Amino acid sequence: MKPKPHPLVWLWYAVMAFLAIPFVFPTLWMLSASFKSAAEIFASPLGLLPHSLDLGNFGQVFRDYPFAAQYYNSVYIAVIVTAATIVLAALAGYGFARLRFPGRDLLFIACLSAMMLPAEALAVPQFVLFKLGGLINSHLPIILLQIFGSTGALAVFLMRQHFLGLPRELEEAALIDGLNRWGIFWRVMLPLSKPAMMAVGIFAFLNSWNDYFNPLIYLSNPTQFTLPLGLQGFTDPLGGVFWHLTLTASSLATLPLLLAFLVAQRQFVESLVSSGIKG
């Protein structure tokens, strides 16, 4: 029979639930507003629950705007960025953690410098470079800047820290069994790195999904926009915002983020804990 929780535990839960209200309420209100009309959103007194579940906003978002194309753009860009970041970060992180070669530490510091430089400081030279390559108004600059920018550098750092935390005896035993360096990485180290790769994947997916700065610079065609850029398009000819449509689109844009975190929440926390064990 399990012991009953101490009363202080219930008090702690109550305090945490109270502190979560300012963070949870805006999300709940956004989800509720997606079922309301524009007049009902600003009705007084403010109500959390809609008078009726009207799905007309969802139909109008997809019917009158290129929201489906923008949603597809965000999904496929995020998938490519996430997969490429996991693969490259695992390879680079293992190299920095386990392989010895001249200039390794200096190269690692140079990699981390990508996290220290603000994106705004690099925007102009990057734009000139991609313009010379004829890549403006395409998704390739957005993908490359996510993979090889600050997101990629953070992913390499997390994977390196994870590999440093794994015992070297595992590699030594694999060497005795006849595995080469690639076999050790693929058959021994990589299967033990699923939590870290899951955390890297979540970081990469979130940063790609929420990227507003790069699409703003490189894209001009609404059908090529990603969701963060497309959400500003629910306006009338005079610039007034259709809040019921904006909140509906925002609710749809939030769903993949919630699902990604709920599915991989445990692995995400475990990786953050393990990444600080060794430096």
In a domain, 57, yes or no: no
pTM confidence score: 0.85
Average pLDDT over residues 237-266: 82
In a domain, 135, yes or no: yes
- Per residue in 208-228, pLDDT (tens digit) is 999 999 999 999 999 999 999
In a domain, 58, yes or no: no
Q: What is the CATH number of the domain that holds 199?
A: 1.10.3720.10
- Per residue in 189-208, pLDDT (tens digit) is 988 888 889 889 988 999 99
In a domain, 226, yes or no: yes
Domain that holds residue 97: 67-274
Nearest to residue 243, comparing CAs of 22, 24, 39?
Answer: 39
Is pLDDT above 50 for 239? yes
d(CA 51, CA 47): 9
In a domain, 116, yes or no: yes
Residue 48 burial (C-beta neighbours within 10 Å; 0-12, 13-18, 19+): exposed
Helix, strand, or coil (residue 6):
coil
In a domain, 27, yes or no: no
Cβ-Cβ contacts under 8 Å for 183 (sequence gap 6 or more): 174
In a domain, 180, yes or no: yes
Residues facing residue 235 across a β-bridge: 241
Is pLDDT above 90 for 46? no
Domain count along the chain: 1
Residue 34 burial (C-beta neighbours within 10 Å; 0-12, 13-18, 19+): buried
- Per residue in 76-118, pLDDT (tens digit) is 999 999 999 999 999 999 999 988 889 888 999 888 887 888 8
In a domain, 263, yes or no: yes
